[in-house]
Amino acid sequence: MEIQIRVYYEDTDCGGVVYYANYLRWLERGRTEFLRERGIELVSLMRRDIWFSVSECNLKYKKSAKYDDLLRVVTELEEVGGAAFWLKNYIWRKNELLVEARVRIACMSGETGKVKRIPAEVVEAIMAGKVPTSK
C-alpha cells in the first residue's frame, strides 16, 4: 500500500530539512490507509472496544527529506500474531530510500488498557491484502 506526502514548510526545521518526528506522523497515515484499504474502519472497532496502539517502533534514517519533496510512504504487512501485527514501512523520494521502519501494532481494550486478541474477522481483513515482499 502506498500514499504520497508532500513536505511542507511546517514539516521542516530552519534549514528546510524534515524534523525527525514528522516521519512518525507519515507512517501513521500510511498505516491508517493500509487498514482502510482492507475495509478496517478504526472508529467502528473503537466502538467495540478494539483499539490499536503502537507498542514498538524501530526507524532507520538513511537520508533526509527536504522542503517541497514529494515522498512515497509504503506500508506492508510483515506478520500477524494473536494480539499484534507487524508492519514494514518505507519512505522514498523518487528512487532514494530515506527511512525504513518496523512497527508493532498491539490490539488492546481502550477501556482497560489491557492487551487483547485481534478478532478473527480483523485478522482475515489484514491478511487479505498481504503480498510477499522481496528482502
The owner of cell 525504513 is: 100
Rounded Cα distance between 104 and 121, Å, is: 19
Q: Which residues contact 42 (CB under 8 A, 6 or more apart)?
A: 32, 35, 52
Q: What one-letter code names the amino acid at 120?
A: A
Q: Which of 11, 13, 49, 69 is catalytic?
A: 13
Residues in the chain: 135
Rounded Cα distance between 36 and 68, Å, is: 27
Grid coordinates in use for 29?
497515515
Instruction: Please say if 13 is a catalytic residue.
Output: yes
SS3 81: coil
The residues carrying an active-site annotation are: 13
